[in-house]
Amino acid sequence: MQEPARLSRDGDLKLNMFKAFRETWDAVAVDDEGADAAELSGKAKLEQRIASLPARHRQVLLLVSLEGFPVAKAADILGISEQEARQDLSAARLELQKEAGAKVLIIEDETVIAMDIAVTVRSAGHTVVGVGATFKEAVSLAEEHLPDLVLADIHLKGGDSGIDAVEKILRGMTVPVIFITGFPEALLTGKKVEPAFVITKPFDPETLTAAIGQALSFRPNKQKAGAQKQA
């Protein structure tokens, strides 16, 4: 950094660094909204969609979802109001959702928590195909709808196990799973499924939204599930 005075000694260093970067970026007036499609042909589909967003929408999305800044701090970095940042974030997500909408199965026995999760899922542009509160309900819904993503709690109604439900589902299909639980240590026994995504209750909607995006970016081929259903 050639101008250290621009970084406040008593402020948030990461915040100030991103603000300085944004000011430098604006100063050179780079117009990256019209990137050549050929340059993007080798990127993943998710990266292509993000790259096609308007610059400010993309910046807000990445600051919040990738860098983990609260919306208010992202707005500060970009020199816009928090309301504008929220509008840009919503617009970016809606644009991505036009192509990225997925079928999501929720496995959760607490009605209020299931509703909160469903709101977050739908706000991200995805469809909730069902909510299973027991082992039997969860497995039945998965077999019926072949979801693109499963969001599961560990402890279910009647003493059922969400881990057992997920293991049963994964025997019949290949689908990413995010565990949302107040007992993450129960997943680290080495005896059962070792999840790639774990979110601790009470969950932050922004964190869940980012995890959903990550999980779906690695969405596997579901031919196995389709073949088994037809058999």
Tens digits of residue pLDDT in 126-144: 899 999 999 999 999 999 9
> Residue 35: is its pLDDT beyond 90?
no
Tens digits of residue pLDDT in 38-64: 443 334 566 777 777 888 888 888 888
Task: Output the pLDDT for position 137.
Answer: 96
Between CA 182 and CA 25 the distance in angstroms is: 42
Between CA 120 and CA 129 the distance in angstroms is: 14
At position 18, the amino acid (one-letter code) is: F
Q: Is 126 helix (H, G, I), strand (E, B) or coil?
A: coil
Report the chain's terminal Cα–Cα distance, integer Å. 63
- Pick the closest to residue 14 from 2, 24, 22 (CA basis): 22
Integer angstrom CA distances of residue 152 from 53, 93, 139, 141, 166 = 31, 23, 12, 13, 8
Task: Output the pLDDT for position 53.
Answer: 83
Tell me what the mean pLDDT of segment 97-106 comes to: 77
Task: Output the pLDDT for position 14.
Answer: 61
Answer CATH for 102-230 from 3.40.50.1010, 3.40.50.1000, 3.40.50.2300, 3.40.50.1860: 3.40.50.2300
Q: What rounded mean pLDDT belongs to the chain?
A: 77
> Residue 72: is its pLDDT beyond 70?
yes
> Residue 24: is its pLDDT beyond 70?
no
Q: Is 204 helix (H, G, I), strand (E, B) or coil?
A: coil
Half-sphere exposure of 169 (CA within 13 A, CB side): 35
Per-domain boundaries in the chain:
11-98, 102-230
Find the Cα–Cα–Cα–Cα dihedral 61, 64, 68, 72, rounded to 10°: 160
Least confident of 107-116, 174-183, 211-220: 211-220
Structure confidence at residue 91 as a pLDDT band (50, 70, 90) = confident
Task: Output the pLDDT for position 227.
Answer: 41
Strands (E) in the chain, as ranges, are 103-107, 127-132, 149-152, 177-181, 197-200
Between CA 59 and CA 50 the distance in angstroms is: 10
Tell me what the mean pLDDT of segment 168-196 comes to: 80
Where does 11-98 sit in CATH, by number? 1.20.140.160
Integer angstrom CA distances of residue 5 from 9, 14, 176, 182 = 9, 15, 46, 44
Structure confidence at residue 12 as a pLDDT band (50, 70, 90) = low
Task: Output the pLDDT for position 224.
Answer: 43
Tell me what the mean pLDDT of segment 183-191 comes to: 70
Task: Output the pLDDT for position 168.
Answer: 94
Helix axis angle, 223-230 relative to 162-172, nearest 10°?
80
Task: Output the pLDDT for position 28.
Answer: 43
